[in-house]
Structure 1
Amino acid sequence: MRVSVGRRLGVSVTAVAVLAAVAGCQGGDGADKGGKKAAADAPAAAEPQWSSALQVIQAAYEKTAAAKSARVRLTMTMPESPAGGAGAAGVAGLGAGGTMEMSGVVGWDPGTMDITMTGDGLLGGGEGSSAGSRLVMVDDVMYMDMGDEAPADLGGKRWLKLDFKALGEKTGDAALRKQLTDSLESMNQDPAKQLAMLLDSPHLKHVGPEKVGGVQTQHYKGTLTVDEMVAANKSLAVLSEKERADLVASMKESGLTAYDTDVWVDADGYPAKMDIGMVTPEGRIEVTATYSDYGAKAAVQAPPAGETFDFMEMMEKLSEAMEDGADADSSAA
């Protein structure tokens, strides 16, 4: 595999890792339960305003969950971490920080996605990082367009196939399989799940009217601590109590202190814009997404099988080649 395509693969995989790292902080279903818990924790003095905000976000959650698809434009900005660090999201190779943008169609229940991603330092910089990478997700499988140079390096096939569900099944680890598939489903930045997370905030408030892209909206804001964020994340239910406690301790040790969500709800009751922020020692991770065309059919199709190259098969062949090489060296010795 030539260096250029190898770098492009690294860029695409890094982009997926970034999305999964942030998406892993999303909550799952169960907005009613979250709202009741937040109600118990809400300050008594703020009850009238909080109750009104909760009703609006609850209604927005229900409408968004029912819509099942939308068009999205998303920008993620990450701060620079110290040299050699793993980056603010805890993903190796992201120490340079930078900005990533993506746009396209996303669907949830079931999770689908057809987006184009571009980025600078966040995606490693250099050749291929700013030209854009197309990602398609359908039936729990991710496909990455490796670009015009891919055919010569991938047996004449342009698309790289990443089947995370099959990878989880191959390991035989049920918990890992669930975490991989949950992260994959969350990578489409499902706005309904973000609203469900917001409903778990005891600090939910109505900021006021604001315009987004010329459209009148109402701005709402909520904040979660690390403990509240982990409790709200239903995909972590597979962890034992000790594992959950270790995760919380690890997040706190990394310096992550808060998870903020701002949402602008339009006159139709849908989120027109969402801002998600996480505070880390290096600075804030910022994710801004604008949504439109709710409920439009997300006609996402997988690339033709003849144009795809299975990543797992590629890694297995590479592993076999390395083993054969090691055996040959051993025999020669």
Structure 2
Amino acid sequence: MRLIRKAALGATALTAAVALSGCSGGGSDKAAGERNAEPRSIVQALRAVAKKTDEARTAKVEMTMSMPGAAGGEMKMSGVTGWNPTVMDVTATGSALAQDGGPGEMRMLWVDNVMYMQVDEESAESFGGKPWLKMDLQAMAEKSGDENLVKSMTGGLQDMNQDPAQQMGLLLDSPNIKRVGKETIDGVATEHYSGTLTMKEALEANSSTDFLTEEERKELLDGMEKSGVKGFDIEVWVDERDYPAKIDMTMDSPEGTMTISQRYSDYGTPVSVKAPPAGETTDLMEMFEELGKAGQEQPSGF
């Protein structure tokens, strides 16, 4: 079960990564060109950020996550990501994966709302030599009787269908968004913005309605509440083309504080993620069902 728990940790990290990648933003080329002609308000700038990134749909990403709790630790990811539809091909490393003799490095794919995780050769022997694990998170959440495992695997699942404009809509709900000033990130000139938002403020605000339908907004906030998130702080560094060069986000939860630092580049880069061949894949949902049937058929006294 150690490998399954490790897979659950990877699922949590990947779903959080995809959900929070929606906080990346941009603005129209026209708006960027007019920046020097007439200063934009903070709201105008962030709305433009959401619009341009939504249109870009893909980017290269480098991300560092620090997760609380006994199963937490640090994880780094690098690769490519896309939204509308959600796709991802990243390699993860770090102490969070290396716990309890874990591999310390793992390639993870997200395609067609399913997660695939590549296991090492030794682990693959436990799955008939198949190097990929398939995790249909929603199906597993509905079928599994292990509430802790469900919580681990679906920690960020409620936010999976939120696109960048919708995430930026939540940032625009912050009552204290501010323009921090000009800063250089990795040699790139940027404008730094920051904001905070409690769940109470998010529930009472209505400025995000341009980006979210009422139903989408309710589902997103309900999901955050159920996961125990109390609020979040976000900082965004936007380059001269109105693309974010860096995003830092901090969220408070019952287990502690999760921090995520994301660096984006090459917006619009081609991203083609394909599911591994079925013959090289073990479906964990099917495996769980088979184990459950075996347990039910086991004679009493064993």
Task: Decide: shared fold, TM above 0.5.
Answer: yes
1:119 to 84, 94, 98: 94
**Does residue 1:270 correspond to 2:243, yes or no?**
yes
> Does structure 2 conserve the Cα–Cα contact (< 8 Å) formed by 1:210 and 1:219?
yes
Q: Are the structure 2 counterparts of residues 226 and 61 from structure 1 closer, same or farther at C-alpha, using a change threshold of 3 Å?
A: same
Q: In terms of mean alpha carbon deviation, does 208-217 or 145-154 score higher?
A: 145-154
2:109 to 136, 141, 145: 136
Question: For the residues of structure 2 that align with 1:149 and 1:299, how far apart are their CA atoms?
Answer: 28
Over residues 57-80 of structure 1, what are the superposed CA-to-partner deviations in whole Å (9 max), with x where a residue is unaligned?
A: 11010000011111111101134x
Question: For the residues of structure 2 that align with 1:53 and 1:298, how far apart are their CA atoms?
Answer: 31
Paired residues, what number?
272
> Does structure 2 conserve the Cα–Cα contact (< 8 Å) formed by 1:165 and 1:181?
no
2:48 to 33, 47, 59: 59
Quote the residue 1:329 is aligned against.
300
Quote the residue 2:83 is aligned against.
108
> Does structure 2 conserve the Cα–Cα contact (< 8 Å) formed by 1:8 and 1:129?
no
2:290 to 304, 317, 331: 317
In the TM superposition, what are the counterparts of 1:37-48 in structure 2 within 5 Å? none
Quote the residue 2:266 is aligned against.
293
Question: For the residues of structure 1 that align with 2:216 and 2:155, how far apart are their CA atoms?
Answer: 10
2:74 to 99, 102, 118: 99
**Does residue 1:73 correspond to 2:62, yes or no?**
yes
CA-CA distance at 1:191 after TM superposition? 5.1
Quote the residue 1:186 is aligned against.
160
Over residues 167-198 of structure 1, what are the superposed CA-to-partner deviations in whole Å (9 max), with x where a residue is unaligned?
A: 56779xxxx9xx969827639x9655543321
Quote the residue 1:35 is aligned against.
none
TM-score in terms of structure 1 length: 0.70
Question: For the residues of structure 2 that align with 1:26 and 1:268, how far apart are their CA atoms?
Answer: 18
Over residues 83-136 of structure 1, what are the superposed CA-to-partner deviations in whole Å (9 max), with x where a residue is unaligned?
A: xxxx3xxxxx53xx421111111110000011111121x346131242x11111
CA-CA distance at 1:316 after TM superposition? 0.8
Question: For the residues of structure 1 that align with 2:253 and 2:141, how far apart are their CA atoms?
Answer: 30
Structure (1 or 2) with the larger CA radius of gyration: 1
1:11 to 3, 6, 10: 6
CA-CA distance at 1:150 after TM superposition? 3.3
Quote the residue 1:195 is aligned against.
168
Question: For the residues of structure 2 that align with 1:249 and 1:281, how far apart are their CA atoms?
Answer: 11
Quote the residue 2:147 is aligned against.
none
Quote the residue 1:307 is aligned against.
280
Quote the residue 1:150 is aligned against.
123
Q: Are the structure 2 counterparts of residues 247 and 143 from structure 1 closer, same or farther at C-alpha, using a change threshold of 3 Å?
A: closer
Over residues 222-254 of structure 1, what are the superposed CA-to-partner deviations in whole Å (9 max), with x where a residue is unaligned?
A: 110122345679656359xxx95x985994xxx
% identity of equivalent residues: 41
Partner SS state of residue 41, structure 2: helix
Q: Are the structure 2 counterparts of residues 190 and 144 from structure 1 closer, same or farther at C-alpha, using a change threshold of 3 Å?
A: farther
1:215 to 165, 178, 188: 188
Query: Unaligned 5+ residue runs, structure 1?
Result: 1-5, 29-48, 80-86, 88-92
Question: For the residues of structure 2 that align with 1:301 and 1:26, how far apart are their CA atoms?
Answer: 20
Q: Are the structure 2 counterparts of residues 298 and 21 from structure 1 closer, same or farther at C-alpha, using a change threshold of 3 Å?
A: closer
Residue identity matched to 2:168? L
TM-score in terms of structure 2 length: 0.76
Question: For the residues of structure 1 that align with 2:55 and 2:131, how far apart are their CA atoms?
Answer: 35
Over residues 274-320 of structure 1, what are the superposed CA-to-partner deviations in whole Å (9 max), with x where a residue is unaligned?
A: 00012457764211000011111111111111101111110011111
> Does structure 1 conserve the Cα–Cα contact (< 8 Å) formed by 2:66 and 2:258?
yes
CA-CA distance at 1:21 after TM superposition? 5.9
Residue identity matched to 1:75? T
